[in-house]
């Protein structure tokens, strides 16, 4: 059998990627989430930690040796060079682990959740790009309802990400998430059927 169809799922912060990938998982898809992998690569004992300590010192570690994620986040939020340095350590590891899991995946299709897929080398490794799209006001409303923080902060986070247009420019498929969760479910079910059909085709015709 040919390898599973690979769908790269992306979208802005709080656009509904997790809501969508959870629904795909319920329908039986294999879901690989790069946010989950990003946390795994900085878990205790992982080689990334020694590199982070060498680059940023003890200040970004707790007394028990675990990464102080809050301190790390503050540092990279305030300083672009630090952010790039951290990304240079983490991104190759996240990408390698994501690909390892994608290659090991079984079943008709795999959903690979990559928040910043537009600028990621992982884009070369997926067959299709599925964008969860919602308007910015909805995104901000959901972000504020879910996380602490001010509206100003929320707008700053949005501004730092790829724009809605930049995401849509790489989309093969779009799920529109401005309405209810029921409306979201319906769209996910329709794409599930579509991906099952595509997965049945020879790789060259996908």
Which residue blocks in 105-149 are alpha helix, DSSP H? 136-146
What character string, x for contact with ligand ATP (CB under 6 A) and - otherwise, covers 80-119? -----------------------------------x----
How many Cα neighbours within 13 Å face the side chain of 142?
Answer: 20
Structure tokens at 134: 């919602």
Of 5, 7, 14, 52, the one binding ligand ATP (CB under 6 A) is 14
Which stretches of 57-205 are DSSP H helices?
Answer: 69-78, 80-104, 136-146, 151-160, 164-169, 181-199
Instruction: From 8-16, 39-47, 64-72, 165-173, give the range in contact with ligand ATP by CB under 6 A.
Output: 8-16
Among positions 180, 202, 204, 205, the unique one binding ligand ATP when judged by CB under 6 A:
180
Report the length, in residues, of the chain. Answer: 206
Separation between Cα atoms, residue 149 and residue 166, nearest integer Å: 26
Q: Toward ligand ATP, which CB reaches closer, 52 or 132?
A: 132
| Binding of ligand ATP by 157 (CB under 6 A) | no
| Closest CB to ligand ATP among residues 8, 16 | 16
Q: Which of 205, 181, 142 is nearest to 15 (CA)?
A: 142
**18 to 57: interface string for ligand ATP, x by CB under 6 A:** xx--------------------------------------
């Amino acid at each position: 059998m040919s390898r599973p169809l690979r769908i790269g799922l992306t979208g802005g912060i709080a656009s509904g990627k997790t809501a969508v990938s959870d629904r795909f998982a319920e329908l039986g898809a294999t879901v690989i989430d790069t946010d989950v992998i990003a946390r795994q690569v900085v878990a205790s004992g992982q080689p990334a930690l020694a590199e982070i300590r060498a680059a940023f010192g003890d200040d970004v570690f707790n007394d028990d040796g675990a990464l102080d994620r809050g301190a790390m986040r503050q540092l990279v939020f305030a300083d672009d060079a630090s952010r790039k340095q951290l990304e240079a350590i983490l991104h190759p590891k996240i990408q390698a682990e994501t690909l390892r899991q994608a290659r090991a995946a079984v079943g008709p299709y795999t959903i690979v959740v990559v928040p910043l897929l537009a600028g990621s080398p992982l884009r070369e490794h997926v067959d299709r790009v599925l964008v969860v799209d919602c308007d910015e006001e909805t995104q901000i409303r959901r972000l504020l309802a879910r996380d602490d923080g001010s509206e100003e902060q929320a707008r700053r986070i949005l501004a730092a990400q790829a724009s809605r247009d930049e995401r849509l420019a790489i989309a093969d498929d779009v799920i529109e998430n401005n309405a209810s969760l029921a409306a979201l479910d319906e769209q996910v079910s329709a794409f599930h059927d579509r991906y099952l059909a595509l997965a049945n085709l020879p790789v060259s015709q996908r």
